[in-house]
Structure 1
Amino acid sequence: MDRPKLSVIIPVYREEARIAALLAHLAGLPAPGGAEFLVVDGDPERRTLAAMPTEAALALASSRGRARQMNAGAAAARGNVLLFLHADTRLPPDAFARIQAALDDPGGADLCGGAFSLSIAPDGGPENRPPGPGLRCIAWAANLRSKLTRAPYGDQAIFLRRDCFEALGGFADIPLMEDLEFMTRLRRSGRRIRLLSACACTSARRWEREGLLRCTGRNLLLRALYHLGVRAQRLARFYT
């Protein structure tokens, strides 16, 4: 089998209701150079793997924890570009071509990777209900923060050259903030990323479940405490 250029790594925990639709979405995206999909289940009961269409992706089992699940997927991946995708996020139709173009651009020869811009849609997809002003404001603020800090979050579908990911030691084995921690290390190492204008669309299910103000306020507080030096292990008890 030819070695794919791109490996899409999907950490999951009890996503059995979503996995088939996600893999169908990914299979429909044009992939110059080829792509492989790896689903890494952190559920001891492996519910998502049991619900996964046969041969749609490589099924991997791991102990729970998004960072360790993504590291396990990266270790098994064969591509020279790694794309880390949340189960409730959808990519733009030309996502794989945009990634390859960004990394092949002569002006981006020293790029370590990048991420998409963010949009947020009501759970079930924007075709059912357009996002309200609150969700649009959150997405706008997240995109502005990413541009200023050069530290995108995981729901923006982070992609990385394999050699850069391995040189930085992968994701730290912490229960949350693994994306922020990695991007902070990447920036401090002097490496660059590119933020693409196209949007990855993530589900608003957590905001809908917890309430817009409560969820947003909690997230802002946790990030502030993390920047002040509170360990991720302590913060994790407030993020379930």
Structure 2
Amino acid sequence: MNTNYNNQPAISVIIPTYNEEKRIEKTLISVRNQNCKIPYEIIVVDGQSSDNTVEISEQYAKTYISPMKGKVSQLNYATPKTEGNLILFLDADTLISPDFLNYIYELFKKDESLYACSARFKYYDGIALNVSLGSKNFTLTNYFFQNIFVHTWYFFKTLYGYPELSGSNIVVRRDIFQKVGGFKKPPNSLGIDKVFSDSILFLIKKMNKGKIKTLNFLSVLTSGRHLTVERSIKRISQYTNQKEIYSNLATKIYDQ
């Protein structure tokens, strides 16, 4: 780990929280235990939790309390307080591998046309299911088919030229984040990642350069606790019925 603040951080990791005392420590440990020599900083921005989230977070990271609740407000509040040219927005229930930051840093260093990316994700906290096929025994989770669907979804979206960032982990260049005006709040706060992806894609089209991508060979582990059929249907319905609102949010660009 290299969090030497005498050097400007190359990467700023920003984690929004709200009543995450059961999960935030694992996430912070995964971020602190990085096998990289590049300087990076860890910022937790809390949405006025009523549990011990802040107390736990302060043991591992700089911790701010946002004056406004909500993921969009918290992330936009914290970002100006960071210094890294690359920003990783990481959900409080998402774990990264020890080589994650180093891989990301090298990827952006080698490819200046890369504006933003996300690693594919796997749901990790499902119920274990033992399956036997002949003499072979396998342990699966109840998220097995959901994980296959997610990987297939992002693979084909990328293949057909419609890349989309994942809300669990988004890495973006600071200047690109500023140009699109940060995160926007969509109706009912669903689809934050979708609007942010579309904002950058609109900027790319406007500038006629740049790209975003899903990293199919790098993954993170994230909680499936919010994964419900009702939520998925609601999100799809919003995209279908409120396309104009989403489009207007995404195309609101600020040149800074």
User: 1:35 Cα shift?
Assistant: 1.3
CA gap 1:146/1:4 in 2 versus in 1, 3 angstroms:
farther
Alignment counterpart, residue 118 of structure 1, candidates 121, 126, 129: 121
Q: 1:133-172 alignment to 2 at 5 Å? A: 133-144=144-155, 146-147=157-158, 148=160, 149-155=162-168, 157-172=169-184
Q: Which has the higher helix share?
A: 1
Q: Deviations over 1:84-136 (max 9, x none)?
A: 0011111233111111121111xx2122121111222235999x964543322
Q: Which residue of 1 aligns with 2:14?
A: 9
The answer to whether the 8 Å contact 1:122/1:131 transfers is: no
TM-score, length of structure 2 as denominator length: 0.77
Larger Rg: 2
Are residue 82 (structure 1) and residue 87 (structure 2) matched? Answer: yes
Give the equivalent residue in structure 2 for 1:177. 191
The residue number in structure 1 matching 2:63 is: 59
C-alpha deviation, 1:167, in angstroms: 1.6
Contact kept, 8 Å, 2:119 with 2:218, in 1: the verdict is: yes
Equivalent AA in structure 2 for residue 188 of structure 1: F
* 8 A contact 2:38–2:102 mirrored in 1: no
Q: 1:28 aligns with which of 25, 30, 33?
A: 33
Select between 67-76 and 223-232 the one with higher mean Cα deviation.
223-232
Q: 1:15 to 1:79 in 2, by over 3 A?
A: same
Aligned-partner SS, 2:35: coil
Take 2:167 and 2:37, find their aligned partners in 1: how far apart are those partners? 23
Paired with 1:231 and 1:189, the residues of 2 have a C-alpha distance of 13
Q: How does 1:92-107 map to 2 (within 5 A)?
A: 92-105=97-110
Counterpart check, 1:188 vs 2:202: yes
Conserved? CA contact 2:10–2:39, under 8 Å: yes
Cα distance in 2 between the residues matched to 1:136 and 1:180: 19
Distance in 1 (CA, whole Å) between partners of 2:64 and 2:128 is 27
| CA contact 1:9–1:85 (8 Å) conserved in 2 | yes
SS of 1:181's partner is helix
Inter-CA distance 121–45: structure 2 relative to 1 (3 Å threshold):
closer
* Percent of paired sites with the same residue: 23
1:154 aligned counterpart, secondary structure: coil
Q: Distance in 1 between matches of 2:7 and 2:126?
A: 37
Calculate the aligned-residue CA RMSD, in Å: 2.8
Aligned length: 224
Checking the alignment, whether the CA contact within 8 Å between 2:120 and 2:166 is kept in structure 1 is no
The answer to whether the 8 A contact 2:127-2:142 is kept is no
Answer with 22-31 or 2-11: which moved more. Answer: 22-31
Per the alignment, do residues 142 and 85 of structure 1 end up closer, same or farther by CA in structure 2, a change over 3 Å counting?
farther
Separation in 2, partners of 1:60, 1:162: 20
Task: Say whether 1:71 aligns with 2:76.
Answer: yes
